[in-house]
Structure 1
Amino acid sequence: MKIGELAKAAGCTAETIRFYEKIGLFAQAQRTASNYRLYGKTHLERLIFIRNCRALEMSHDEIRTLITIMDHPAKQTQHHNAHVLLNSHLHHIDERIAELTALRMQLLKLQQDCHPCHDSCGILQGLAEMEVDVKAGKSHL
């Protein structure tokens, strides 16, 4: 199948497939004489696996590790490595939940401190005055 057909079957875009090929998550496709990429069933299965991992917000490095484990099932340590990776990812998710819970509490406090009957907006004033713990590299933006 061509890249557009693969993208449709896997529920992603052709650009996503090209990106995964570029970063080494996805095997390069064979090319036709006219330079079209040709994909098979194994490509579709791998792409669905990657898509499912991304839906669980796994990083490309985590997915790369899981693919290595999947491609070398005979190694005794691989099953353990998959568990270690999943536990690490769960810990990361727990940290994010705690951060989002704290963020929610801050926003609720701003909302509660706003009194529409006053001349100034309590939300804007609170945002201007509050102190935040800025963590490098952590943002939803």
Structure 2
Amino acid sequence: MWQEPKDIWNLVAKEDIQYFRNRDDKEICRHLDACGGISAQKAEDGMVVFRLPKMEAGLVVICGCCGKTVGDSFFKSNPDIEIYYNTVKLDPDTFEIWPNPKCVKLLSRFPTSGRESETPTGHAYLAIKVINDMDQVIRVSHVITV
């Protein structure tokens, strides 16, 4: 796990800072978005598994940090990781850089057949596994679902 520490007022509008700065309840204005995520570099780092929330469409996107174009090198064309959806390995050739170059759309909709389509609890699982040691650290900053 990693996180870039941020000031309590990071990304808070100036007029809100003036209003909340000296109040006892100033924490309610705290912006929750900060750079952070999960990182790995070595095969011994293993696998991270995300229990995804119940989805309506089946859209699954992962994003990386830090760099404006890391989606391709981290996820789409990285031979040193494997990505699984409900225990089924996904084919990186089907991944799409979306909605920006930091992110990769893994699925556009729910799979309609096979083990990957089975969700008895309504939840799906996304796993990212490091299979070979890498020169660069891979950082997952977001998992987006719809």
TM-score normalised over the length of structure 1: 0.21
For the pair shown, the structure with the greater C-alpha radius of gyration is: 1
**Structure with greater helix percent:** 1
Q: Which has the higher contact order (CA 8 A, sep 6+)?
A: 2
Question: Which structure has the highest strand share of the two?
Answer: 2
